């Protein structure tokens, strides 16, 4: 009698389980836009909705803490100088820089990324985007840039209906001295889609772009 041996059972891979505790990881080859190791961002597991603000990333939090007092001081100094001694070119220049810094602070305070069963909503000081989930996979992207002294930055972007210009997604801006900034922005982009897939807001068919 031919006794064929059954193959031994395959043990679970602890590394895979640790990297993807919720089982939301997207299988390789599912979609070119989402990496095979995409997982739900920390803190979003099991949540039906989430809101990201500027303080989610240290880069924007540090920018806010620096720009708020400096911008306010420059504007106040310009106003006091105009009241006491009239206008001059350097005073107007100082006031312009202070105004830009204050606009950056207001943009940080107004910025919000909200995701729920209805879709993804992005709000900044000057833009509004509201997309149903079926449009989100094709609208999300990333943007990277090079700054002063070798710094690199990146963020998630979203394009509006009809191909309107891209807006940055609050809570995803990263700045550093290596390509890690872009990697983290891409992880945020993929994580949003992985979270929506896990919640049932997206299907695998929606991710075939």
pLDDT on residue 28: 38
- Sign, CA dihedral 118-33-184-154, equals negative
Tokens of 2: 């031919």
Using alpha carbons, select from 162, 165, 144 the residue that is nearest to residue 153.
Answer: 144
Question: What is the mean predicted confidence (pLDDT) over 58-63?
Answer: 73
Please give the Cα distance from 183 to 107 (Å, whole number): 24
Q: Which residue has the higher pLDDT, 127 or 67?
A: 127
Q: Would you place residue 132 in the very low, low, confident or very high pLDDT band (cuts 50, 70, 90)?
A: very high
Q: Where are the domains of the chain?
A: 49-203
Alpha helices in the chain (DSSP H): 14-19, 58-85, 89-110, 136-139, 180-199
**3-state DSSP assignment of residue 131:** strand
Question: What is the mean predicted confidence (pLDDT) over 11-40?
Answer: 46
Whole-structure pTM value = 0.69
Please give the Cα distance from 16 to 72 (Å, whole number): 49
């Amino acid at each position: 009698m031919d006794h064929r041996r059954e193959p031994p059972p395959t043990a679970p891979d602890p590394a895979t389980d640790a990297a993807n505790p919720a089982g939301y990881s997207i299988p390789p080859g599912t979609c070119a836009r989402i990496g095979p190791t995409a997982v739900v961002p920390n803190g979003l597991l099991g949540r039906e909705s989430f809101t990201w603000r500027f303080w989610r990333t240290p880069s924007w939090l540090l920018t806010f803490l620096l720009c708020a007092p400096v911008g306010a001081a420059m504007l106040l100094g310009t106003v006091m100088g105009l009241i006491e001694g009239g206008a001059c070119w350097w005073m107007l220049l100082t006031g312009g820089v202070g105004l830009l810094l204050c606009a950056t602070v207001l943009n940080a305070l107004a910025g919000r990324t909200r995701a729920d069963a209805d879709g993804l909503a992005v709000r900044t000081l000057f833009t509004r985007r509201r997309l149903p989930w079926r449009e989100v996979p094709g609208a999300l992207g990333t943007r990277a840039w090079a700054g002063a002294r070798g710094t690199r930055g990146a963020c998630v972007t979203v394009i509006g209906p009809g191909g309107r210009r891209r807006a940055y997604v609050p809570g995803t801006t990263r700045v550093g001295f290596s390509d890690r900034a872009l990697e983290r922005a891409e992880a945020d982009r993929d994580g949003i889609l992985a979270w929506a897939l896990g919640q049932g807001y997206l299907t695998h068919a929606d991710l075939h772009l």
